[in-house]
Amino acid sequence: MHHATILFDLDGTLTDPREGITRSIQHALAQLGIDEPDLVRLEPFIGPPLLQAFMEFYGFDEARAWEAVTHYRERFKTVGLYENLLFDGVLEMLEHLRGQGRTLYVATSKPSVFAREIARHFAFDHHFRMIYGSELDGTRTNKVELIAHLVAEERLEPAQTLMIGDRKHDLIGAHRNGLQAVAVGYGFGSHDELMAESPAYYYATLPALRAAFG
């Protein structure tokens, strides 16, 4: 993988946000009168845009989904954001890639304000030229739009740019913008979900991903 520029998804690719996201979803549902004691059932919320996920998984209309997002953020911005773990080996991998002269970006559907605070708190922000996320009003939660915006803003050459992610949204966003995509199997997307989008590369573990960069 010779690419000079690499875009990384955040949740499920660099960090394991399982506890913070699922507990914040649980909180949001409770505020709307829905009791969901099983956090595992809420893991499909990790990765896709939140507004659409509430509409898809709970049948909310857009207004009620925005209510849920508001309640989610109440908890996430003060507590859930920090209920997060860097995957073992991420810092070493990022340092290695920068040592090779590559330029790194984060491309996440998570609002930029949250993504930047996570990167700062867990001390990996300095590895990235810029962290790109969505806006709080929902702008650029779609990975196709987000990656298009990033590529345009940074004047990147798609043929020299690689997108790495753990969900189909990352792969679709890459392909629609002319980028090759790497699927990783240690996050939250199933093998079937990822293979259906025909990634250029697939690595089941983070050590395998790291090794692929030489």
**Residues acting as catalytic residues:** 9
In the chain, the amino acid numbered 197 is E
The region, left, alpha or beta by phi > 0 then psi within -120 to 50, assigned to residue 3 is beta
Q: Which residue has the tokens 């990033």?
A: 150
CA distance 54 to 69: 8
How many angstroms separate the CA atoms of 168 and 35, rounded? 29
Distance CA 128, CA 126 (A): 5
DSSP label at 42? Answer: G
Q: Which amino acid is at 210?
A: R
Instruction: Tell me which DSSP letter residue 124 carries.
Output: -
What ranges in 36-186 are assigned the alpha helix state H? 50-58, 62-76, 90-99, 112-121, 143-154, 168-176
